[in-house]
Amino acid sequence: MQEITEKISLLRKEKNAVILVHNYQLPEVQDIADFTGDSLELARLSQKLDCKVILFCGVHFMAETAKILNPGKIILIPDLHAGCPMADMITDQQLRREKEKHPGAAVVTYINSTAEVKALSDICCTSANGIKVVNSLGNEEIIFTPDKYLGSYVERQTKTKKFYLWSGYCPTHMVFSRADIEKLKRVHRTAEVLVHPECRIEVQEIADRICSTSQMISYAKDSKTSEFIICTEVGMLYPLQKENPDKKFIAGSPNAICPNMKLNSLEKILWALEDMKHEIHVDETIRKKALKAIEKMVAI
Ligand code: 13P
Ligand code: SF4
């Protein structure tokens, strides 16, 4: 393993590459990152980097977002099969039809989406800023895509607007149940429950805090509590523990594993840098339209 990490370090210098890593990635991948973070942080950061290549260790829509924001940089992903099933739950044709049904509505699209769907949207959001994004809009009606659970959370927090929720969801976050969390709470009585907004509503309802992956890290740091039940992908336990070595983190479900996130390995990262693969491309017309929706979000 040491040999691979040394080779990666040499190559990243040689190719003027920066390695961005999402919080759900394998521990050994997080350990070789130049930067780790949630979707919003990594998107923002990609624009500030002075480099030729960004190797994005996450899923496809994250690397694609980096390409939309940085057309002049080479964006690589270690495994092209690392997709996000939720992002594929709405197509551009379906969104066009939905827009025709609600002509006065603003389209708010979760960053977990394809470039084509972003291009048809008024603004993007992430799990960290959905409420702020919706509150920034003058429209009374909102088409929210593709995640119905994040959409429902934002709807409950921004009460006065009418929401049309697309019915997408994250299969990984579906495994959490209220009954399981209540059982864990009976054992870990002082634990706070941190829930990602992709979880089902019954789980959101018993959360002490609903937040993005990186917001979980800062919340745990600031909290006086020393035990937390974590309702998001299990990879999250690694950065939480690393940043808060004196606190205890318990998985809300050991089965919450995103198989796509786990496709990126150190070997594939090395091959990606050696062969400059797999490069992400986005059609220029689509990119420009998608950029507007992302830039509007980043500006908030
Ligand atoms: P975050 O932006 O909170 O890291 O979430 C991304 C994601 O895909 C969650 O499943
Ligand atoms: Fe997509 Fe869910 Fe995996 Fe996040 S955890 S990348 S939403 S499938």
Q: How far apart are CA 279 and CA 64, in angstroms?
A: 10
Question: Cα–Cα distance between 58 and 165 in angstroms, integer?
Answer: 26
**What Rg, from alpha-carbon coordinates, does the chain have?**
19
| Residue 21 shares a structural domain with residue 92 | no
Q: Which atom of ligand 1 is nearest to the CA of 38?
A: 4
d(CA 210, CA 144): 18
230 found inside a domain: yes
Q: Characterize 203-237 residue by residue with b for buried, 16 or more Cβ atoms within 10 angstroms of its Cβ, and e for exposed.
A: bbeebeebbbbbbbbebbeebeeebbbbbbbbbbb
Please state the three-class secondary structure of 85-124 as a single string. CCHHHCCHHHHHHHHHHCCCCEEEEECCCCHHHHHCCCEE
pTM above 0.85, yes or no: yes
The answer, yes or no, to whether any atom of ligand 1 lies below 6 A from the CB of 36, is no
Interhelix angle 39-48/284-298, rounded to 10 degrees, is 110
Statement to judge: residues 187 and 158 lie in one domain: no
- Please tell me the distance between residue 84's alpha carbon and the centre of ligand 2 in angstroms: 5
Same domain, 148 and 184: no
Residues 132 and 66 in one domain: no
Please, which residues bridge with residue 153 across strands? none
Residue 16's Cα: distance from chain center in Å?
25
Structural domain contains residue 16: yes
Q: Which residues pair with 109 in a beta bridge?
A: 124, 145
Question: Ligand 1, from 38, 133, 153, 257: best to mutate by most atoms within 8 Å of Cβ?
Answer: 38
CA of 106 to the centre of ligand 1 (A): 23
Q: Which residue's CA is the nearest one to ligand 2's atom 5?
A: 258
- Residue 72 to residue 136: CA distance in whole angstroms: 30
In a domain, 293, yes or no: no
Report the domain count for the chain.
3
What pLDDT is recorded for position 144? 98
72 and 94 together in one domain: no
Nearest-5° angle of CA 224, CA 158, CA 125? 80
Would you say the CB of residue 41 lies under 6 angstroms from ligand 1? no
**Domain assignment present for 294:** no
Residue 60 main-chain phi, psi, to 5 deg: -55, -45
In tens digits, what is the pLDDT along the chain, a chain of 300 residues? 779 999 999 999 999 999 999 999 999 999 999 999 999 999 999 999 999 999 999 999 999 999 999 999 999 999 999 999 999 999 999 999 999 999 999 999 999 999 999 999 999 999 999 999 999 999 999 999 999 999 999 999 998 899 999 999 999 999 999 999 999 999 999 999 999 999 999 999 999 999 999 999 999 999 999 999 999 999 999 999 999 999 999 999 999 999 999 999 999 999 999 999 999 999 999 999 999 999 999 888
Helix boundaries (H) for 142-260: 148-157, 178-187, 201-204, 213-222, 237-243
Q: Ligand 1 within 6 A of 126 CB?
A: yes
Token readout for 206 is 């018993």
Residue with the smallest CA separation from ligand 1 atom 2 is: 39
Residues 79 and 91 in one domain: no
Query: Which two structure tokens, joined as six digits, stand for 139?
Result: 């429209």
CATH code where residue 114 lies: 3.40.50.10800
What end-to-end distance do the CA atoms of the chain give, in Å?
41
Residue 291 lies in a domain: no
Q: Which residues pair with 21 in a beta bridge?
A: 36, 57
Residue nearest ligand 1's atom 3 by CA: 212
Q: Which ligand is nearest to the CA of 172?
A: 2
> Same domain, yes or no, for 58 and 122?
no
Q: What is the DSSP string of 206-236?
A: T-SEE--HHHHHHHHHH-S-SEEEEES-GGG
233 lines ligand 2 (CB under 6 A): yes
112 Cβ closer than 6 Å to some ligand 1 atom: yes
Query: Which residues, listed in sequence order, are joined to residue 125 by a DSSP beta bridge?
Result: 110
Shared domain for 78 and 100, answered yes or no, is no
Residue 289 lies in a domain: no
- Please list, in sequence order, all residues whose beta carbon lies within 8 angstroms of the beta carbon of residue 33, skipping any fewer than 6 positions away: 19, 20, 21, 25, 57
My answer on whether 135 and 208 are in the same domain is no
Residue 55 structural domain: 2-83+261-281
Bridge-based pairing state of the strands 74-76 and 53-57: parallel
Residue 272 lies in a domain: yes
How far apart are the C-alpha atoms of 175 and 172, rounded to whole Å? Answer: 6
Does residue 45 sit in the same domain as residue 79? yes
Q: Would 299 be classed as within a structural domain?
A: no
Identify the residue whose C-alpha is closest to ligand 1 atom 4.
Answer: 38
| One domain, residues 211 and 272 | no
Regarding whether 135 and 187 lie in a shared domain, the answer is: no
Q: Determine the distance separating the centroid of ligand 2 and the alpha carbon of 172, expressed in angstroms.
A: 6
